[in-house]
Amino acid sequence: MYQIFVYNPQLVPYVQDIQLRMDNYTKTRQRLLGSQESLSDFANAHLYFGIHHTDDGWVYREWAPAAEALHLLGEFNDWNPASHPMTNLGNGVWELVLPGKKALWQGCRVKTMVTYQGKTSDHIPLYAQRVVQDKETLQWCAEVVDDKKKFRWADKRFKPQDPPLIYEAHVGMAQEEERVGTYREFADLILPRIKADGYNTIQLMAIMEHPYYGSFGYQVSNFFAASSWFGTPEDLKYLVNTAHKMGIRVLLDLIHSHAVKNTAEGINEFDGTTWQFFHDGPKGDHPAWGTKLFNYGKTEVLHFLLSNLKFWMEEFHFDGFRFDGVTSMLYLDHGLGSDFDHNSKYFSMNTDTEAVTYLQLANELIHELKPSAITVAEDMSGMPGMCLPISAGGIGFDYRLGMGLPDLWIRTIKEKRDEDWNIEEIWSSICLRRPGEKTVAYVESHDQALVGDKTLMFRLADAAMYTDMDKETHNLVIDRAVALHKLIRLLTMASGGDAYLNFMGNEFGHPEWIDFPREGNQWSFKYCRRQWSLADNGFLKYQWLGDFDKAMISMAREWDIFQQDMPHLNRIHNQDHILAFERNQVLFVFNFHPTQSFTDYVIPVTYPTDYRLILSSDEKRFGGYDRIADMQYSAYQPGMEGNWLKLYLPARTAAVLVPVFEDEPKKTTRRRKKAATEKENSDSDKKTLSKKNTGSGKKAEAKVKTDSVKKSATKKASKPRKESKTKNEADSEIKTDSKTKADSAE
């Protein structure tokens, strides 16, 4: 029996469906490989098809099974549609050999003319590696890339860090000026920011070529072309190479769930038919997106898509992928309007078993090519086994996005007054994930930042963001927004998953929404950029939020909190709005009460030793008041058996504490020394960035202060004392500003 049933015994009634999943995978794999030994041997379509520079000249090949004739035309033949016909080699393969090294050249513009049923149409070559738009005619065509010219990589010794702390980014909107940014600007100006903030992974959006800039890169036309919106393929390689030299992993936001329906710019109807790559008829059209849907049961389609994965990993050294639109792939109704409230919804005639098989093969190939690579599934359905190994009956992803978490916070903020928040429900929702499967936790991604939605900070502060974000201005709405922004992000990161994601700029509460240039806004870039100066100028509260995010990420890295799969709940109290839990020895305590502060609030802990404060949302450097003392707190309370801390918990604050041990492991000590050094270096980087920033506004002149890492050890830990106090006895020790409160749950 597959291990998926050990993690999910409720799936035993669906044992035949899991077996069908595995049989489909085995049969398809055998069909694809034949005598080849691995998927890597199979996924080489890009090395055969497309335009290649040979020792004797050039060769161009295409797969177009329904076409009657193909011709190559371009600058090399003055766009003559008849002078360079291609030869039909059989099985839908066409070839053109061009003798002479100067027959084509780097940057030579070309198109393919296809004849189908007596009619001709011009197309972009399927395996084009560079596609550009003519500024005058606005038409797109391919540019030849000379594959004999090799980029000099300097990332041979790069080793990605785990767990991934992901910074989701869009290259074009990463600059403060109202224009499209470039790959090199991102590498030189934005990567140092990301490094200084502590993130070890970037997830790049809109890299695959897309004709419409406002699609956010999700309507792909040319699958092997790095988007020319931001520069050349060499520029993208420079970005990845620079990231690797900084120790940053690079993920590609991959779109294999659909393709743009354009025929002149995209792959649709390349050979004259819709069914070359896609399903024919309504099954091949996405009803909500207006795009084309792949036929994952077709060998040639699998050859194209799997080779595409290998191309991005080998040609551009990407370290993995975020698979977009996985829910749409998994179900024939694309999950539109479906409530996945029963296991039967995952295993029915609505399940696209061919798409499931493709995802298994894709994950096998990716990890075969690079064992350290990671894959992330954007699936809101909760498909069982998504992030279990294929051998366990799973689909093979490393992580799934915790897509319920943003919805949780949106519902809570929109539908409930602060005093009505149900802490038990929040905790239950945050910890709801499938056993054995890893989740990327996040409060907001690009989805929440788009026009029509609101970011967390914008939802909390609304119009007051425009008038009251100056540090010298006091506003209760902003005070609440700043406090909850810190608490919600800390809680989500610390308990919501096994990795963490943040969208570019949201770490400091970037105002407003993202609105790409379009006719409706007079093609303006005003809301399609990142205003870094808001966090850098030193006068606005955005700096506080950015500094807290940096400290939060640093704490997570230093204390390896994700080593423990699930947090351990220490205390929860709905009426008091108190939540306390431990993860990998680190104690997190939250007071979400909007008005009530607590003195000597009793929190049970694991270790019979002192605890020291390592992070507080109430620190002055984060816009707080330093009301939580930076000191050591004893877990020994006279007259109480067990280990208890007494803490002062101001309203809307969080405190993070760790036990103090006399004999800390040398590895831990080295790790903390390294973390301290990284803090100093990142602060220096931050100061340098203020000078290099291309945005407008005053730059912060003062170096951002950070915590020094204290290593005091005053008590030696012994065996944990038995926790024998009753709930009522413990509650009798809690002193509040008004009255003694009773515990609702422990």
Q: Which residues are catalytic?
A: 324, 378
Structure tokens at 498: 């096994």
Angle 533-534-540 from CA coordinates, rounded to 5°: 135
252 bridge partner residues: 204, 321
Phi, psi of 300 (to 5 degrees): -65, -30
Q: What is the distance, to the nearest Å, from the Cα of residue 388 to the centroid of all Cα atoms in its chain?
A: 19
Give the residue among 236, 235, 233 at the shortest CA–CA distance from 106.
Answer: 233
Compute the distance between CA of residue 259 and CA of residue 661 in angstroms, rounded to an integer. 56
Q: Which two tokens stand for residue 447?
A: 């989805």
Give the count of beta carbons closer than 10 Å to the beta carbon of residue 41.
13
Give Dmax (Cα) for the chain.
Answer: 96
3-state per-residue secondary structure call for 541-578: CHHHHHHHHHHHHHHHHHCCHHHCCCCEEEEEECCCCE
| DSSP assignments along 117-141, one per residue | TTEEEEE--TT-S-EEE-TTT--EE
331-364 in b/e burial notation, b at 16+ Cβ within 10 A?
beebbeeeebeeeebbbeeebbbbbbbbbbbbbb
The dihedrals phi and psi of 435, each to the nearest 5 degrees, come to -65, 140
Instruction: Find where tokens 């100067």 sit.
Output: 102
| Residue 463: partners with Cβ closer than 8 Å, 6 or more residues away | none
How far apart, in whole angstroms, are the C-alpha atoms of residue 179 and residue 3? 51
Do residues 678 and 558 lie in contact, with contact meaning Cβ atoms separated by under 8 Å?
no
Cα 362 to Cα 40, 269, 352, 411: the distances in Å are 10, 25, 16, 35
Yes or no: say if 321 and 367 are a contact pair by the CB < 8 Å rule: no
